[in-house]
Structure 1
Amino acid sequence: MGEQPIFSTRAHVFQIDPNTKKNWVPTSKHAVTVSYFYDSTRNVYRIISLDGSKAIINSTITPNMTFTKTSQKFGQWADSRANTVYGLGFSSEHHLSKFAEKFQEFKEAARLAKEKSQEKMELTSTPSQESAGGDIQSPLMPESINGTDDERVMPEVTQNSEPRAEPPQNALPFTHSSTISKHWEAELATLKGNNAKLTAALLESTANVKQWKQQLAAYQEEAERLHKRVTELECMSSQANTVHTHKTELNQTIQELESTLKKKEEEIERLKQEINSARELQAQRDSLTHKLQVDYISNTLISENELEIHHWQIPVKSNMLSMGREIENRNKDLEDQLSDLEQRLEKSQNEEEAFRNNLKTLLEILDGKIFELTELRDNLAKLIECS
């Protein structure tokens, strides 16, 4: 499987100043990803963080390490192999506590792995010690443990074992030496097989590290892109607040215009009623004028004698003439009123038409703003789904 990330978080990375050993030196300009990695082949836990293509943290967790919380959002640990002290600044106390819990968990796992490794080494070395128990001074023991040039050294040791000044009672028989030689040859073959396996595992781990670096670079690019997208959407969100305020103002303006339009329509209805009344008066005036003309013509046909005979009718005629003048004056006033009402009606109709055009323009603007808000909402929904 190789080395795989098992926990990740974001933090600002620091290292202790190598000169003063007191001040912190930031190794990243902004918060970067800090991850725990587990190598199943070597059973090792590491803390790794990259800033671009540069590794700013590469610390192997050992049982003697300790992660210390120095504040609510800052923690540190010392790495003797790297000869430095790492510090991490988190955005919240929760992230710091989570990182510290994982550190303690993986530290305990590293301790257990080390104990199991030691037990395996002890079990592996036990048969070798028992087989070599008959020859305490045998020179094969150090060479087999180190695992270097066993095949070439062992025959020389067997041949040179006779000249040694060994007591006769401790000298090994030839058959026993042959058995020991075969045993160490088997041990050598086992060590070579383990060495080949470790070499293959190392090559696989190196390939996995390269692949992981490529994936990490791709993830960082994706994170930067998403960060820029979030910034853009935040700007769009601020614009959306402005658009919402503008929309509220437009709604208020539309309500005011609708109220004004309603008043104008009521005034137009009243003017129409007044025009109808004026037209009725105009009809009455025409009827009276026609009647007066007929009476006047009939009266002019009366002769002077009839006027003398009917001199008592003169006051009646004069009254009719004065009534005709009064009607004419009233007719003129009604014509003036009718003309004024027609002008007012035309003016009101023009104002209503202009108002309707303005209202139509405002509605078009409002539709555009609503479309922009809908598009912004869709973008925010997509961002939430992606994250």
Structure 2
Amino acid sequence: MGEQPIFSTRAHVFQIDPNTKKNWVPTSKHAVTVSYFYDSTRNVYRIISLDGSKAIINSTITPNMTFTKTSHKFGQWADSRANTVYGLGFSSEALLSKFAEKFAEFKEAARLAKEKSQEKMELTSSPSQESAPGDLQSPGTPESINGTDERVTPDAESRAHTPSSHTPGTHTPGSHTAELNAVPFPHSSTSITKHWEAELAALKGNNAKLTAALLESTANVKQWKQQLAAYQDEAERLHTRVTELECVSGQTAGIKTQKTELNQTIEELEAELKAKEEELEKLKEEVENADRLQAQRDSLAQKLQDTQLRNADLETRLSLLEERLENGRMEDESFRKSLRSILELLDGKILELTELRDSLSKLIG
């Protein structure tokens, strides 16, 4: 057929959900080979990817197509002929950049090929041989080889290409209460306090990071809203232009071709708008996660304050017990001294009685 691969890479393949036009549907369970092909017989460039024997991408590159990087490892383009939007998730940013460079290169080559084809048609055409408007379209219409409409559950994109959020570790409140009740001494209370302070410090650090990410996300949201407004204005302008062209009498094949190109541009802009809306939804979820983490931080701070109050109460009780113990020791020492004095006095009395007995014995004898 004269069609040869000229560049290949590996990526996860997605298509826009045909029903919602918002969510991505994975068409491959794992990374597959995605290749650029050049058909020398028709002078067209195509992007083709196979998952086993099934063609999951069969897209002919036209001068009106645009490859957009939506993240560091994800890019997409709209194919109006296939009536879908393709998405590719790469393992590194370098692979994404290389694929985007090749897309721009082959898009420019397709534009030059189209111009040369139009020049040849203009040279060989005559007024008596004008064909129908459909004959002026590019001869490289892609063939539908997608087979059956198989779908894979959309669970790969968020795991493969979306950064996972980090949630600080939490502890069961009951376990902390048991530990506090079991260890009422100052050194144990101090270790628990240090543990809570370390955990609070970690939460403060995470909170600062989330706050910075939230501020950055807010700035990005404002920028994307401006871009969305600009895209909407451009789409309205293009719709108006299409309406004006349709109202012009005696439309020529060139005007109809321009209308087709404008419609393709509108579809690409709508696909970009939908992608931006998906990113806005993700940012909203990140904001909600930040709010939940803030609530957890406040709860832990309250628990730390309660622990500190309990430690202070335990230290006060311990001081009172030590004071009572010291007083008991002093009283015991005083009692012992009194007993010693009594014993000494009894010893003296016993000695006197003994002497008196001896004296009486002598008198009697």
**TM-score bracket relative to the smaller structure:** 0.3 to 0.5
Greater C-alpha Rg: 1
